[in-house]
Amino acid sequence: MLRRIDIIAHTNRWHARTGAVMLLCAGLMLCALCLPPVAVAPPVICAAWLAALSGARVPAGAFAKAFVIPMGFLITGAVVLCISVTWDTGHGLRIAFTHEGAHTALQTSCRAAAALSVTLLYAFTSPLSQTLALLRRARVPVALIELMGITYRAIFLLDESRASIIGAQQNRLGYRNARCMFRSTGLAAVALFTRTHARAANLERGLQSRCYDNSLAVMLPPAETTRRDYILALLIPACVATVTLFARALPSLFFPA
């Protein structure tokens, strides 16, 4: 899934407009974190999904799959919050539904769903190269930027090594039963750790042989962000906040106490 997200991030319509996308996501995330969660979650989720599917033309199936998997864990945790488990001396173990827990679960789920939508919007529309270029223009310390880039690429190398090791074990029937599965998993973990350590050592030797002086000279990719993009990136969170505050004040306008 990570590789699929990286491919979409480099091929969507907004891949060269990372500055405006970052501003848009920052505004939407600020709305999701600061405004009432139950009221702000629907407009934030709608704005993020519309921006991803209609604006950046991200494939709906990939975006929905990346959203559903974390939401499964979130819903499981929300259900647990709604249940109260107590021990009564006379009646033993008692399991009951709690309104306080349900209220907390609803607020937590709404806020997390909104934040997750905004995070996926940025992940699917902003390639790492554009993000690092934007951070360089923002005068972020070079050492931190290079560490981010190396870590990101190391993740893909780690995933590629994992896939090759497991594929080789499957071809040798290493997962035909439970006993072989546990043994193969342990061997794969050891091989993956060894290979990762060797790659890190090779990277260090390669940088030293090229007289690494704490900075790598790279060509920054061109940015296509216009003033109109920045204005839209500011207007959308402002509209979301306005709609949220108006919807929250609507009952008191029509049904005053």
- Splitting the chain (257 residues) into consecutive groups of 10 residues, what average pLDDT does each group show? 84 87 92 89 92 91 90 85 73 74 86 93 89 82 81 81 84 83 86 83 78 66 77 90 79 46
Query: Does 34 share its domain with 105?
Result: yes
pLDDT at 89: 66
Cα 126 from chain centroid? 12
Same domain membership, residue 151 and residue 73:
no
Q: Please check whether residues 188 and 248 belong to one and the same domain.
A: no
Confidence (pLDDT) at 29: 93
> Quick one: pLDDT at residue 80?
81
Same structural domain, 79 and 106: yes
Q: Are residues 82 and 106 in the same domain?
A: yes
Q: What integer pLDDT is reported at residue 116 of this predicted model?
A: 93
Q: What is the pLDDT of residue 186?
A: 87
- 84 and 203 both lie in a single domain: no
Provide the pLDDT for residue 222: 66
Same domain for 119 and 14: yes
Q: How many domains does the chain have?
A: 2
Interacting residues of 147 by C-beta distance below 8 A, sequence separation 6+: none
Between the alpha carbon of residue 255 and those of residues 36, 206, 247, 248, 252, the distances in Å are: 20, 71, 13, 12, 5
Q: What is the largest CA-CA distance in the chain?
A: 76
Query: Do 11 and 30 lie in a common domain?
Result: yes
- Tokens 């609507």 correspond to 250
Query: Residues 30, 122: one domain?
Result: yes
Verify that 101 and 21 share a domain, yes or no.
yes
Residues 118 and 133 in one domain: no
Instruction: Give the domain extent around 52.
Output: 1-126+226-257
**Quick one: 67 and 18 in the same domain?**
yes
Task: Quote the pLDDT of residue 198.
Answer: 83
